[in-house]
């Protein structure tokens, strides 16, 4: 299981490096001057999208999803335990009424 996670993280590291390289290469060529019209708008949108991609890969690499998943798993286990206790208590009540 860990090798799958390592491969997955390696893939995200490679994609992050590629996105950073594209941004470093393209950013000096993009004109952000006022009055640039569609060229400036496209450059700004492209740069914003590149930053979103970089942020998404950093989010995955840093393991924020893993922490959230562990917390959600703990909540699910607690709910399941409560449900099992409730069922056990209801089963005991039914046996007493018989």
Is 25 in the same domain as 50?
yes
Confidence (pTM): 0.59
Number of domains present in the structure of the chain = 2
Is 42 in the same domain as 69?
no
Element (H or E) spanning 16, and its range? helix 2-26
Q: What is the tens place of the pLDDT at every residue in 34-50? A: 777 888 888 889 999 99
State both tokens at 29. 């060529």
Residues near 47 by Cβ (< 8 Å), separated by ≥ 6?
Answer: 23, 26, 27, 30
Question: Which residues span the domain enclosing 27?
Answer: 1-62
Residues near 65 by Cβ (< 8 Å), separated by ≥ 6?
Answer: 59
Q: What is the mean pLDDT of the chain?
A: 83
Is 44 in the same domain as 69?
no
The whole-number average pLDDT for the span 90-98 is: 64
Is 6 in the same domain as 52?
yes
CA distance 67 to 27: 34
- Most distant CA pair in the chain, distance: 85
Is 12 in the same domain as 55?
yes
């Amino acid at each position: 299981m860990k090798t799958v996670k390592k491969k997955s993280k390696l893939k995200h590291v490679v994609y992050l490096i590629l996105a950073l390289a594209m941004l470093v290469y393209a950013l000096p060529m993009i004109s952000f001057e006022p009055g640039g019209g569609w060229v400036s708008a496209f450059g700004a949108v492209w740069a914003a999208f590149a930053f979103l991609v970089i942020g998404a890969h950093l989010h995955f690499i840093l393991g924020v999803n893993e922490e959230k998943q562990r917390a959600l798993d703990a909540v699910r286990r607690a709910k399941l335990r409560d449900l099992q206790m409730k069922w056990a208590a209801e089963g005991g009540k039914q046996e007493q009424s018989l």
